[in-house]
């Protein structure tokens, strides 16, 4: 029985052909090539003309591997062996067509997989390079703009304190508003960069929801009255007051959404609704929803508005003020960090509803050691200094425009004597030879940077120089930078551009 199966399967892909010295087929078993006896082997395929060149030197056997034969409209991949016998020459043809076809398919699949993997790696590397370039560009772009903006804000402040006509005062007010808008734009761009680069970290603290909502009411009430729009904040009474989460980022999300609502609502109303979805253990899930009666958003635009630098087209909203389209992108990024998602329901001409669900922790108990964050309301109080003396200030700043406006604005307060240097290497020389009450120093000074100077001062063993208050001013705005500058020995760091009163208040903390 097995002999029959062996003959049936074992030899079906092997064909034996016996030929004479002239290449005439004497005998064949017809395994897969249907050949006629007394025909010429040279008529089967051109490869067999090889026989003419090897027959005289053929002693034992000669193997040719992976020979492609086309015979009677069929293609075969074979191994062909020539063996010299007493009766003539034996040709053994082994058909490996299916083997090579399957192997080729596997090899092709493997190669395609390798190629696709390489393409993905190249694509990821390209995306990472583009992202790094974008973040580096934004960082440098922000840095380079902050010095001239500091000068503009300071000069505007100096102008506002002079005698102006009503028309000039209106122009200065417009300039101040433009400065504030430009500063907000820089901060928004920086926030986008920090979110996309993963450098923005959440900071959870216990805070009061009622105080946060009171601040929002206070902030937007006047704006609503000025625009003849109804504004309300509605809070579910079942919501507890003290929660734990990132108050600053929640406030940033809500203000961006409310700013967007006011931007595209000319008449009607805007409201912020906060509802309790559910409470489990010490976790609260809240629904925040901002509803307006503004221009609305078409369905095709409801995804695009959350991308950076995207906003409603002028055709839908020709009368609305223009903007950068960064606010909603920041909202999307911040909520992603907080494991939430912004959603929108809107139709053109029928207003919009932006909402998200956020989980906050409910503190189990509040002790005297618990840090409760309360919102700081902006005060118009001016910084207070002693009136019985003038303080000696060393100002180290290399940008001539910033140097000029800071010198002028500080000198006009009549609280200070001011010396100027524009090189970090000169700061220590001035401090050794003169007595100063405070050092106001730019971080990015030539030769020796501001933070390097701070380290030298804190390690200086003579003249009690190490105790001088140091306030750094910088065009860098990343939180990591601020930590590094304070670690170098600075008492405080202000990010350019800063308001005049902010500078004076900071200085007043350290001048007694």
- What's residue 372's pLDDT? 55
E strands present in 268-351: 269-280, 283-292, 343-346
Q: How many Å apart are CA 271 and CA 285, to the nearest integer?
A: 20
- CB-side neighbour CA atoms (13 Å) of 2: 0
**Residue 41 DSSP symbol:** G
pLDDT at 403: 87
Per-residue pLDDT at 396: 93
Give the whole-angstrom CA distance, residue 61 versus residue 47.
17
Contacts of 304-309 spanning 24+ positions with Cβ under 8 A: 305/344, 306/331, 306/332, 306/342, 308/192
Residue count (the chain): 512
Q: What is the secondary structure of 62-124 as a DSSP string?
A: EEEEEEEEEETTEEEEEEEEEEE-SSSEEEEEEE-HHHHHHHHHHHHHHHHHHHHHHHHHHHH
Strand partners, 63: 81
Q: Hey, is 292 helix, strand or coil?
A: strand
At residue 103, the pLDDT reads 76
Instruction: Give the pLDDT of residue 388.
Output: 77
CB atoms within 10 A of CB 359: 16
99 alpha carbon, distance to own chain's centre: 50
Query: Distance between CA atoms of 90 and 76, rounded to whole angstroms?
Result: 19
Q: Cβ atoms within 10 A of the Cβ of 2, count?
A: 6
- Long-range pairs, 194-198, Cβ under 8 A, ≥24: 194/478, 194/479, 195/330, 195/333, 195/334, 195/337, 196/131, 196/134, 196/135, 196/333, 197/131, 197/135
Q: Quick one: tokens of 30?
A: 């017809």
Start-end of H helices in 161-230: 166-196, 209-226
Residue 207 and residue 386: Cα distance in Å, rounded? 35
Q: For the chain, 512 residues long, give each residue's pLDDT as a single digit of tens.
A: 556 655 555 567 888 999 999 999 999 987 888 898 999 999 999 999 988 888 888 887 899 988 988 988 888 989 999 998 888 999 999 988 887 777 777 777 887 888 888 888 887 787 777 767 766 666 666 666 777 777 788 788 788 878 888 888 878 876 776 677 677 667 766 676 667 666 677 888 899 999 999 888 988 888 899 889 999 999 999 999 999 998 888 988 998 899 889 988 999 999 999 999 999 888 999 999 999 999 988 887 877 777 755 555 444 444 544 444 567 888 888 898 899 999 999 988 889 999 999 999 998 754 444 455 555 544 445 677 877 788 999 999 988 888 888 888 898 888 999 999 998 889 988 998 889 999 999 998 888 899 999 999 998 887 778 889 999 998 776 677 788 889 999 999 998 888 888 899 999 999 87
pLDDT at residue 197, rounded to an integer: 64
Q: CB within 8 A of 84, min separation 6: which ones? A: 58, 59, 60, 61, 90
Would you call 212 exposed, middle or buried from its count of C-beta atoms within 10 A (0-12, 13-18, 19+)? buried
Count of alpha carbons within 13 angstroms of residue 105, beta-carbon side? 5
| Domains within the chain, CATH numbers bracketed | 9-95 (3.30.450.20), 205-373 (3.30.565.10), 391-510 (3.40.50.2300)
- The Cα–Cα gap between 301 and 443 comes to 43
The 3-state DSSP composition of the chain as helix, strand, coil percent (nearest 5) reads 45, 25, 35
The reported pTM is 0.51
**What pLDDT, on a 0 to 100 scale, did the predictor assign at position 340?**
94
Can you spell out the DSSP letters for 338-392? TT---EEEE-TTS-EEEEEEEEEE--S---TT--EE-PPPP--PPP---SS--EE
């Amino acid at each position: 029985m097995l002999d029959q199966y062996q003959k049936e399967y074992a030899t079906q892909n092997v064909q034996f052909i016996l030929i004479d010295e002239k290449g005439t087929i004497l005998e064949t078993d017809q395994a897969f090539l249907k050949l006629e006896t007394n025909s010429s082997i040279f008529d089967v395929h051109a490869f067999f003309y090889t026989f003419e060149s090897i027959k005289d030197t053929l002693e034992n056997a000669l193997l040719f591997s992976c020979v492609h034969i086309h015979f009677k409209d069929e293609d075969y991949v074979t191994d062909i062996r020539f063996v010299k016998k007493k009766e003539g020459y034996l040709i053994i043809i082994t058909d490996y067509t299916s083997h090579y076809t399957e192997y080729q398919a596997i090899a092709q699949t493997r190669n395609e997989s390798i190629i696709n993997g390489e393409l993905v790696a190249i694509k990821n590397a390209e995306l990472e390079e583009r992202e790094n370039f974008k973040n580096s560009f934004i960082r440098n772009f922000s840095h380079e703009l902050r010095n001239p903006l500091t000068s503009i804000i300071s000069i505007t402040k100096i102008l506002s304190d002079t005698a102006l006509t009503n028309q000039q005062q209106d122009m200065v007010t417009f300039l101040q508003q433009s400065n504030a808008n430009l500063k907000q734009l820089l901060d928004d761009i920086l926030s986008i960069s920090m979110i996309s680069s993963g450098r923005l970290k959440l900071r959870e603290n216990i805070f009061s929801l009622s105080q946060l909502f009171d601040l929002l009411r206070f902030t937007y009430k006047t704006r609503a009255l000025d625009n003849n729009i109804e504004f309300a904040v509605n809070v579910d009474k079942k919501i507890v007051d003290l929660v734990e989460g990132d108050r600053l980022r929640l406030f940033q999300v809500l203000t961006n959404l409310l700013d967007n609502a006011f931007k595209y609502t000319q008449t009607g109303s805007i409201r912020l609704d906060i509802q309790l979805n559910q409470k489990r253990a010490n976790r609260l899930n809240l629904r925040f929803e901002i509803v307006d009666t503004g221009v609305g958003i078409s369905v095709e635009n409801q995804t695009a508005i959350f991308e950076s630098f995207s906003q409603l087209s002028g055709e839908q909203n020709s009368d609305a003020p223009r903007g950068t389209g960064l606010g909603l992108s920041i909202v999307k990024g911040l909520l992603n960090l907080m494991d939430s998602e912004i959603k929108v329901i809107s139709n053109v001409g029928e207003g919009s509803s932006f909402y998200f669900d956020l989980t906050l922790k409910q503190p189990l108990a509040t002790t005297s050691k618990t840090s409760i964050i309360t919102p700081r309301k902006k005060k118009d109080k001016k910084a207070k200094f002693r009136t019985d003396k003038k303080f000696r200030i060393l100002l180290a700043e290399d940008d001539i425009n910033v140097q000029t406006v800071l010198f002028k604005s500080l000198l006009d307060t009549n609280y200070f004597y001011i010396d100027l240097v524009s090189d970090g290497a000169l700061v220590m020389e001035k401090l050794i030879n003169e007595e100063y009450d405070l050092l106001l120093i730019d971080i990015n000074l030539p030769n020796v940077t501001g933070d390097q100077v701070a380290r030298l001062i804190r390690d200086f063993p003579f003249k009690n120089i190490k105790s001088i208050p140091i306030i750094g001013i910088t065009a860098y705005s990343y939180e990591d930078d601020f930590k590094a500058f304070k670690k170098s020995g600075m008492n405080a760091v202000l990010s350019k551009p800063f308001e005049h009163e902010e500078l004076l208040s900071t200085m007043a903390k350290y001048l007694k």
